[in-house]
């Protein structure tokens, strides 16, 4: 503490999502003074996906945390199948990896777990219900943040480095006047909902994908919550008009996609349905002197392939590998922050372009530009060829940047 309402640390981390908790854990384990601020009162936040891909699982292994993670209730998915206009099958089991699958783990369990690991270190502090509302800027450099703590008091957190891990609508990014690029207009938005499980009627797969002429649906089973999380695409801009209609219109669309969920769909109300505008965005520059954006605050991915959590974790590991040593010396240069962006941004660009092309192609297909029977069959065969599949599945599973945890930086061994 430097004053009644002022604290001085090495790293201020804003946002306790996957990127923020991962960076905070690594920096705390390396012996740095870390202060994590999270706006919500707990980690049981609105649904943000429950997936950990092979890359994240490998990184958890390198940190010595994987066996504890595996003890948490979870499921696994190793094959993605689509039965729509272009049938496809993408198999994680063809990967040469110790973890050739996607782990389905409640994000709140995962975040709580990571925070508990960080809390082993006395140099780590977590403040919940603490929302950042301002940046401390001196001589053009960011020196920390201002926030309202759980009691409503305005506080100052001074830090050598501020990590903005505050998600897609990042307040810190806006406060730092960092410009974002919006990439090709996405054709769809997504509606999210939970549907209770019913063992006798449910499909056997853990992940179900369906498509009709206008909508695509994917849903995965969460046995630990006794529900299915379902996402259904709607044409961008159509939400208001759909929402203005009686819920029975939407229920009928859902029935068309998953008739076996019949009775449960009749209980859906608009209050059960969350609207997610699909965006592909990237901050032009991920840093300013004293500040680094990671995860969604630097790049919003589309839901295609479920890579957002993985990439936020990867950013955190890349940033920790590159910045822990200079932080221990007491200063991080702007060039060191730029190196973090350079290391991963090219892959983010490729992945975003890949996501945009998949979304646009599937939309064109649904509108019958590829709709002949022979065309659909050929597309089906094509996507079953292992060599063709192995390229996107590798991108989805690992990304293109080779990242390993630099454990030599981490003073304490878990």
Ligand X SMILES: Cc1cc2nc3c(=O)[nH]c(=O)nc-3n(C[C@H](O)[C@H](O)[C@H](O)COP(=O)(O)OP(=O)(O)OC[C@H]3O[C@@H](n4cnc5c(N)ncnc54)[C@H](O)[C@@H]3O)c2cc1C
Burial of residue 376, with CB atoms counted within 10 A of its CB: 0-12 exposed, 13-18 middle, 19 or more buried: middle
| Residue 295 touches ligand X, criterion: CB under 6 A | yes
Q: How many residues bind ligand X (CB under 6 A)?
A: 36
**Residue 144 binding ligand X, by CB under 6 A:** no
Applying CB under 6 A, which of residues 296, 322, 336, 348 lies at the interface with ligand X? 296
Question: Binding ligand X by CB under 6 A: which of 13, 49, 286, 319?
Answer: 49
| 82 near ligand X (CB under 6 A) | no
Q: Smallest distance from the beta carbon of 163 to ligand X, in angstroms?
A: 10
Helix (H) or strand (E) holding 229: strand 227-235
Site pattern 329..348 for ligand X (x: CB under 6 A): --------------------
Q: Minimal distance in Å, beta carbon 39 to ligand X?
A: 4
Please give the Cα distance from 401 to 70 (Å, whole number): 25
Q: Is residue 399 near ligand X by the rule CB under 6 A?
A: no
Q: Residue from 13, 18, 26, 257 that binds ligand X (CB under 6 A)?
A: 18
Helix then strand then coil, % of the chain, to nearest 5: 40, 25, 35
Q: Given the rule CB under 6 A, which of 1-9, 180-188, 298-306, 370-378 is the region that contacts ligand X?
A: 298-306
Nearer to ligand X, 106 or 389 (CB): 106
Among 7, 13, 19, 320, binds ligand X (CB under 6 A): 19
Q: How many separate helices (H) and strands (E) can be counted in the chain?
A: 12, 21
Helix 334-366 and helix 386-398, axial crossing angle in degrees, nearest 10: 140
Q: Does 126 engage in binding with ligand X (CB under 6 A)?
A: no
User: In the numeric block, which tokens belong to residue 338?
Assistant: 């730029």
Residue 295 to residues 174, 206, 314, 315, 336, Cα–Cα distance (Å):
15, 27, 8, 6, 18
* Count, residues in the chain: 414
Q: State yes or no: residue 39 binds ligand X (CB under 6 A).
A: yes
Our finding on whether 281 is near ligand X (CB under 6 A) is no
Q: Which of 45, 129, 148, 376 binds ligand X (CB under 6 A)?
A: 45
Binding status of residue 364 toward ligand X by CB under 6 A: no
First to last CA, the chain: 28
* Residue with tokens 């920096």, as numbered in its chain: 27
Piece of the chain touching ligand X by CB under 6 A; list 165-173, 284-292, 320-328, 392-400: 165-173
d(CA 253, CA 239): 14
Q: Measured from the CB of residue 301, what is the shortest distance to ligand X in angstroms? A: 6
d(CA 227, CA 197): 5
Burial of 110 (0-12, 13-18, 19+ CB in 10 A): buried
* Cβ distance to ligand X smaller for residue 30 or 171: 171
Site residues (CB under 6 A) for ligand X? Answer: 14-20, 37-40, 45, 47-49, 51, 131-132, 165-168, 171, 192, 276, 295-297, 301, 303, 306-310, 312
């Amino acid at each position: 503490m430097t004053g009644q309402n002022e604290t001085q640390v090495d790293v201020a981390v804003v946002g306790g999502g996957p990127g923020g908790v991962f960076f905070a854990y690594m920096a705390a384990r390396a012996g740095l003074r870390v202060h994590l601020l999270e706006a919500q009162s707990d980690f049981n936040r609105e649904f943000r996906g429950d997936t950990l891909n092979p890359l994240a699982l490998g990184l958890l292994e390198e940190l010595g945390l994987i066996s504890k993670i595996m003890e948490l209730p979870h499921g696994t998915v190793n094959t993605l199948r689509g039965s729509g206009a272009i049938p496809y099958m993408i198999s994680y089991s063809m990967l040469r990896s110790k973890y050739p699958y996607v782990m389905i783990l409640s994000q709140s369990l995962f975040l709580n777990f990571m925070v508990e690991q960080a809390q082993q270190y006395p140099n780590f502090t977590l403040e919940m219900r603490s929302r950042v509302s301002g940046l401390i800027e001196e001589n053009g450099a960011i020196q920390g943040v201002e926030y309202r703590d759980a009691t409503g008091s305005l506080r100052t957190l001074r830090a050598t480095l501020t990590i903005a891990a505050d998600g897609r609508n990042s307040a810190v990014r806006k406060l730092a006047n960092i410009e974002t690029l919006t990439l090709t207009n996405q054709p769809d938005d997504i509606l999210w909902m939970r549907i209770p499980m019913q063992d006798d009627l449910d499909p056997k797969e853990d992940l179900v994908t369906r498509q009709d002429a206008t909508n695509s649906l994917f849903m995965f089973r969460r046995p630990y919550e006794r529900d299915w999380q379902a996402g259904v695409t709607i044409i961008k801009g159509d939400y208001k008009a759909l929402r203005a209609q009686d819920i029975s219109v939407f229920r009928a669309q859902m029935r068309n996609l998953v008739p076996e969920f019949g009775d449960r769909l009749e209980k859906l109300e608009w209050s059960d349905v969350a609207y997610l505008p699909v965006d592909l965005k990237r901050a032009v520059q991920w840093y300013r002197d004293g500040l680094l954006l990671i995860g969604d605050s630097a790049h919003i991915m589309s839901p295609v392939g479920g890579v957002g959590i993985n990439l936020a974790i990867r950013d955190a590991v890349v940033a920790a590998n590159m910045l822990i040593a200079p932080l221990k010396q007491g200063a991080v240069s702007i060039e060191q922050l730029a190196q973090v962006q350079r290391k991963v941004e090219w892959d983010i660009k490729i992945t975003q372009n890949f996501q945009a092309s998949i979304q646009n192609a599937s939309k064109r297909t649904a509108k019958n530009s590829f709709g002949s029977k022979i065309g659909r069959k050929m597309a089906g065969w094509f996507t079953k060829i292992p060599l063709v599949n192995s390229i996107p599945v590798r991108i989805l599973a690992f990304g293109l940047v080779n990242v390993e945890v630099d454990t030599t930086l981490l003073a304490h061994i878990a």
